[in-house]
Amino acid sequence: MTFYEDLSPYAEESEDTFWEGEGTRMVTFTPRYTRVNVGWLAAGHPFAAGPPPLGFVEQLDRILHGQYVNAALGTHPCELCDADDDTPGAPRGSGEIRVPASPLEVFAAPFLIGHYVQAHSYLPPRPFIDAVLACRDTWRNGPPAPWLPDDAQRLDFEAGD
Ligand SMILES: [Zn+2]
């Protein structure tokens, strides 16, 4: 996976794609919010480690299981586990999450961030921890309305496709 410094500007994808309607509709739009990278770890790049505050792991896990942003067809194995594409049982992740930092700024983290915290003691920057603890919703059914521009593209899939 590509390494990005924590709190650097996100430039992985120009658009954001969420799923809504219980996974039957793709919603794609050019974000009006600024995206800030967190947790894009990779082998060979040192990162902060330490115990997170109480409740952080559970709250992050809730977000990770409620959002599907920019989900790709493939998955990335965890490089920190020294895994590669052929390693059986390696922790893998696909897609990203969005956590609001302020009305016009969101944190953009890869799905593997939950594994990094729990298995590799990765300690994300404090502003991200605070944003996760303050996050009231996971938007399991699509992105929040204030995030959606009028020209968001919706693509529906029939169940079973
Ligand atoms: Zn790992």
Ligand 1 centroid to Cα of residue 86, in Å, is 15
Kindly state the average pLDDT of the residues 86-99.
82
The residue written with tokens 């729990």 in the block is 118
How far apart are alpha carbons 87 and 90 in whole angstroms?
Answer: 6
Buried b (16+ CB within 10 A) or exposed e, 119-148: ebebbbeebbbebbeebeeebeebbeeebb
- pTM of the predicted structure, to 2 decimals: 0.90
Ligand 1 centroid to Cα of residue 124, in Å, is 15
Q: Band of the pLDDT at 160, cuts 50, 70, 90?
A: low
User: Which of 3-12, 45-54, 77-86, 130-139 has the least mean pLDDT?
Assistant: 77-86
Helix (H, G, I), strand (E, B) or coil at 127: helix
Helix (H, G, I), strand (E, B) or coil at 18: strand
The two structure tokens encoding residue 137: 């919703």
* Segments making up each domain of the chain, as ranges: 16-144
Ligand 1 centroid to Cα of residue 91, in Å, is 6
What single-letter amino acid sits at 18? F
143 versus 130: the higher-pLDDT residue is 130
Helix (H, G, I), strand (E, B) or coil at 132: helix
CA dihedral 135, 142, 116, 60 (to 10 degrees): 30
Of all residues in the chain, what percent carry a pLDDT higher than 90? 62
Ligand 1 centroid to Cα of residue 152, in Å, is 35
Ligand 1 centroid to Cα of residue 155, in Å, is 34
pLDDT at residue 161 greater than cutoff 70: no
Ligand 1 centroid to Cα of residue 32, in Å, is 33
The pLDDT value given to residue 139: 81
Ligand 1 centroid to Cα of residue 135, in Å, is 25
How far apart are alpha carbons 66 and 96 in whole angstroms?
Answer: 11
| Mean pLDDT, rounded, of the chain | 89
Kindly state the average pLDDT of the residues 131-160.
86
